Amino acid sequence: MISIQKEINLPSYSRGFHLITDVILRELPELKNLEIGTLQVFIKHTSASLTINENADPTVRIDMESSFNKIAPENAPYYKHTMEGSDDMPAHIKASLLGSSVNVPITKGKLNMGIWQGIYLCEHRNYGGNRNLVLTLIGN
C-alpha cells in the first residue's frame, strides 16, 4: 500500500471555473505507479471550491459561473457577513454548495474519469489570491 500526501499552492486565478486536472497530475508522478487506488483533492479555503465537470467546451465554465451568480448573487439585502466585500458571502455559499473536495478512482496509473470530465478549481472571489490544495494518493 502506498500513501502519499502533498500540499500544493496554486497561483491566483481569476473569478470563475478553471480546469486544474493537468496541474494536479504534474504534481503526482507517483500516480503512474499505482494499479488501483484513489486520489482525494481538498481545498483549504472557504471562498473557493472543487468540482468535476465538462473538460472540453469552455462555454460550460462560463455558464457555470453565470448560473452560480444567479443562485448566490452579490449585494443581497439579507446578507449580514459583508465586511470582506460584496463577493465574500456569495463565495461562501457557492463553496458550500460545490464542496471542498473531490475523490477520483485510479486505475492502471491513470485517473479513472469519464472522457469529458476534468477537475475544476472554482474561484468565487474577485481577488481570491493563491489557493492551497492537499493531494492524498492511496493505492497499490
- Mean pLDDT for the stretch of residues 7-34: 97
- Mean pLDDT for the stretch of residues 80-91: 96
- pLDDT 10s digits, 30-73: 999 999 999 999 999 999 999 999 999 999 999 999 999 999 99
Predicted TM-score (pTM) of this structure: 0.96
* Owning domain of residue 30: 2-139
Q: Which residues 6+ apart lie within 8 Å of 10 measured at CB?
A: 20, 23, 121, 130, 131, 132, 133
Q: What is the pLDDT of residue 31?
A: 96
What is the amino acid identity at position 125?
Answer: R
Q: Give the Cβ contact number of residue 37 at 10 Å.
A: 22
Q: What is the pLDDT of residue 12?
A: 97
- Mean pLDDT for the stretch of residues 90-109: 98
When divided into structural domains, the chain yields a total of 1
Q: Which residues 6+ apart lie within 8 Å of 16 measured at CB?
A: 61, 62, 65, 122, 123
Mean pLDDT of the chain: 97
In this structure, what CATH number is given to the domain that contains residue 53?
A: 2.60.120.460
- pLDDT 10s digits, 106-139: 999 999 999 999 999 999 999 999 999 999 999 9
